[in-house]
């Protein structure tokens, strides 16, 4: 993969960036996504934020090699500390991390979200928690996608600020309010796998010398929920 050939996962994230956007990609790693957005003429202003020095340096080198230093601004910073008002960022992409880390980045950078009109998030796990954060902070989920690549399943969540309070029920938070409506093969595969994995864990818990009663109840509830959705 490079900026000319994104993975399917990152190219689907890029697909939700509207032409003419001013973007911040947080956790940019090599800045492949940030650079591709400029090369594809989706944006001419992208901040690539990275908190670890090694990937930050990779991003700096990559952007320089591509001659994109005027458009891709690589910054060594923790989360949304990478951006300021002068950047006038309207679109935020955060991909390839756990949902709890994405939630933490959004939560601790709330003061930077005022001008942001679109969040494009790709959690590797922990989607439910992230959706709950979005609801609590008045972001409405306007698009969702699930895809399989290299043996992994990935979800993409696109959310925009709303003044109307949003409510998602438990099923919508767990499975995704739009994904649950559409479902499809990858969705079914993912939840079949989760069901099987958690059913095994439940059997083991029940066989323990001191079975963890609360955890067993949680797992039973979740398994019933999955069965109800995928049949």
Binding site for ligand SAM (CB under 6 A): 10, 26-27, 29, 49-52, 55, 78-79, 95-97, 101, 105
C-beta of 38 vs 105, nearer to ligand SAM: 105
Question: For ligand SAM, which is the closer residue by CB, 42 or 168?
Answer: 42
Residue 96 CB, shortest distance to ligand SAM, in Å, is 3
DSSP letter string over 155-212? EEEEEEE-SS-----HHHHHH-TTHHHH--HHHHHHHHHHHHHHHHHHHHHHTSSS--
Phi, psi of 54 (to 5 degrees): -60, -60
Min dist CB 149 to ligand SAM, Å, is 11
User: Of 179, 119, 134, which is closest to residue 153 (Cα–Cα)?
Assistant: 179
In the complex with ligand SAM, the residue whose CB is nearer, 57 or 162, is 57
Q: Which is nearer to ligand SAM, 25 or 172 (CB)?
A: 25
Q: Residue 152 burial (CB < 10 Å; 0-12/13-18/19+)?
A: exposed
* Nearer to ligand SAM (CB atom), residue 39 or residue 229: 39
The least CB distance from residue 25 to ligand SAM, in Å, is 7
H or E stretch including 218?
Answer: helix 213-230
For residue 27, what are the CA distances in angstroms to 136, 179, 185, 199? Answer: 23, 25, 30, 34
Q: Which is nearer to ligand SAM, 72 or 226 (CB)?
A: 72
The distance from CA 61 to its chain's CA centroid, rounded to whole angstroms, is 25
Q: Give least dist CB 1 to ligand SAM, A.
A: 8
DSSP state of 84: -
Strands 91-97 and 118-123: parallel
Q: Say if residues 43 and 120 touch (Cβ distance below 8 Å).
A: no
Q: Least distance in Å: CB of 144 to ligand SAM?
A: 17
Shortest Cβ 220–ligand SAM spacing (Å): 33
Give bridge partners of residue 143 from the DSSP assignment. 158
């Amino acid at each position: 993969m490079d900026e000319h050939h994104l993975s399917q996962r990152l190219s689907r994230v890029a697909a939700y960036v509207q032409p003419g956007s001013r973007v911040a990609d947080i956790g940019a790693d090599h800045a492949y996504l940030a650079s591709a957005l400029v090369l594809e003429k989706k944006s001419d202003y992208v901040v690539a934020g990275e908190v670890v020095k090694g990937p930050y340096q990779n991003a700096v080198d990559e952007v320089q090699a591509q001659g994109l230093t005027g458009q891709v601004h690589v910054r060594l910073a923790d989360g949304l500390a990478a951006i300021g008002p002068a950047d006038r960022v309207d679109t935020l992409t955060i991909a390839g991390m756990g949902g709890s880390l994405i939630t933490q980045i959004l939560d601790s950078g709330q003061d930077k979200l005022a001008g942001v009109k679109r969040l494009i998030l790709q959690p590797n796990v922990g989607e439910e928690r992230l959706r709950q954060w979005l609801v609590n902070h008045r972001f409405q989920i306007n698009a969702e996608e699930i895809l399989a690549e290299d043996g992994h399943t990935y979800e993409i969540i696109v959310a925009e600020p709303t003044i109307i309070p949003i409510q998602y029920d438990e099923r919508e938070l767990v499975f995704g309010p739009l994904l649950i409506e559409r479902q499809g093969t990858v969705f079914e595969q993912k939840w079949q796998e989760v069901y099987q994995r958690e059913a095994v864990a439940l059997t083991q818990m029940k066989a323990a010398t001191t079975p963890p009663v609360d955890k067993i109840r949680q797992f039973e509830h979740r398994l019933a929920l999955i069965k109800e959705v995928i049949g």
